[in-house]
Structure 1
Amino acid sequence: MLNVSRKLPDRPPATLQLILPFQERSKSRLRATLSSGEEAGLFLERGSVLRGGDRLLSDDGRVIEVVAAEEAVSTVRSSDALQLARAAYHLGNRHVALQIGFGWLRYQQDHVLDEMVRGLGLAVEAERAPFEPEGGAYGGHSHGHADDHSIIRGVGMK
């Protein structure tokens, strides 16, 4: 079994891929199967959360790319920033992990939450997509993709 205990600070070219849903990427100790079929044991710093695009270094020097697996999610889209903010508030009030993009919100699919959001006047679309929720105000940075700051660039800003 391949041992992995280090997350790389940069993104060198990878020779292997590790495809995992968010729940698995939130664990610091994990036994997983790489896309090559090879078994790997992850022994990362406690509290580590892997994001799509992260790179890991195996004990034999190979670089592994982390890929966010598609999973069952609910996506809420709206051009009304106030409606999305209200939905984000109510979901956050229930401590729901939430991915935020320009004009949309995404959370792991849950029919009770879907009904709550519909009750706020928004449509909910069940789909399969990678899930990269915000990291939290006290836990460091969010997922680091280019669209992180797009929500600040003028949604409802006049």
Structure 2
Amino acid sequence: MIRATALVRRADLASGEIVDRIVLDHGDRHRRRMAMRGVGGLAFLLDLAEPAVLDDGDALRLEDGRLVWVEAAPERLLEIRAPSAHALKRLIWHIGNRHVPAEIGEDALWIAHDHVLAAMVEGLGGSATPVERPFRPEAGAYAGGHAHPADHAHGDGPAHGHHHGHHHGHPHG
């Protein structure tokens, strides 16, 4: 079985033949070694030297130099908002106090869908709206490696055009 031995970050992806894509949820984007199958059917072994977070828009380099595109799968989340910046900070503190993975944006917070936390947020004056979108939680202070802030900016480089929230035009079959 062919191996994927290198992770190429989106910012470093200048060229290469993209031969397939993998669509992974948040939990499956934290890997080192795992058998995988692309959407187009390409079977390969992810075999990185150390665990890594595979971010939306990154690619895995196969031993023969070809690339497999990484796409973040939409997940069922809660989008949490508050009437003021201070109120949002309070909600972030309460959610963080429960050690729940969270993606923090400029004026919203996203967590995995949880009816108990939704009720808590609403009880504290915020809103918790169910949404479906890729989940990119904070890596954590002790996670090391690659952090990927929620309000990151991606420049569209020469490799491909890319915008969050829609399908990529990469190979399917």
Instruction: Give your verdict on TM over 0.5.
Output: yes
1:114 counterpart residue number: 118
- Number of residue pairs the alignment of both structures matches: 148
Q: Does 1:142 align with 2:147?
A: yes
Task: Give 1:77 deviation, angstroms.
Answer: 2.3
In 2, the alpha carbon distance for the partners of 1:79 and 1:118 equals 11
Identify the match of residue 99 of structure 2 among 92, 95, 99.
Answer: 95
Normalising by structure 1, we get a TM-score of 0.83
Task: Give 1:103 deviation, angstroms.
Answer: 0.7
Contact 2:138 2:149 in 1 (8 A): no
1:152 counterpart residue number: none
2:13 counterpart residue number: 11
Distance 1:2 1:116, change over 3 A: farther
Q: Cα RMSD between the aligned structures?
A: 2.0
Identify the match of residue 128 of structure 1 among 129, 132, 143.
Answer: 132
In 2, the alpha carbon distance for the partners of 1:140 and 1:43 equals 17
In 2, the alpha carbon distance for the partners of 1:80 and 1:140 equals 33
Letter in 2 for 1:22: H
Normalising by structure 2, we get a TM-score of 0.76
Could you list the structure 1 runs, at least 4 aligned residues long, displaced by more than 3 angstroms after superposition: none
Task: State the structure with bigger RCO (CA 8 A, min sep 6), 1 or 2.
Answer: 2
Contact 1:2 1:41 in 2 (8 A): yes
Task: Give 1:111 deviation, angstroms.
Answer: 1.6
Contact 1:12 1:63 in 2 (8 A): no
Where in structure 1 are there 5+ consecutive unaligned residues? 150-158
Matches within 5 A, 1:58-69: 58-69=62-73
Letter in 1 for 2:116: V
Contact 2:83 2:126 in 1 (8 A): no
In 2, the alpha carbon distance for the partners of 1:12 and 1:79 equals 42
In 2, the alpha carbon distance for the partners of 1:116 and 1:46 equals 38
In 1, the alpha carbon distance for the partners of 2:28 and 2:66 equals 21
2:170 counterpart residue number: none
* SS at structure 1 position matched to 2:52: coil
Q: Does 1:104 align with 2:115?
A: no
Distance 1:90 1:49, change over 3 A: same
Task: Give 1:69 deviation, angstroms.
Answer: 0.5
Q: Does 1:44 align with 2:26?
A: no
Letter in 1 for 2:148: H
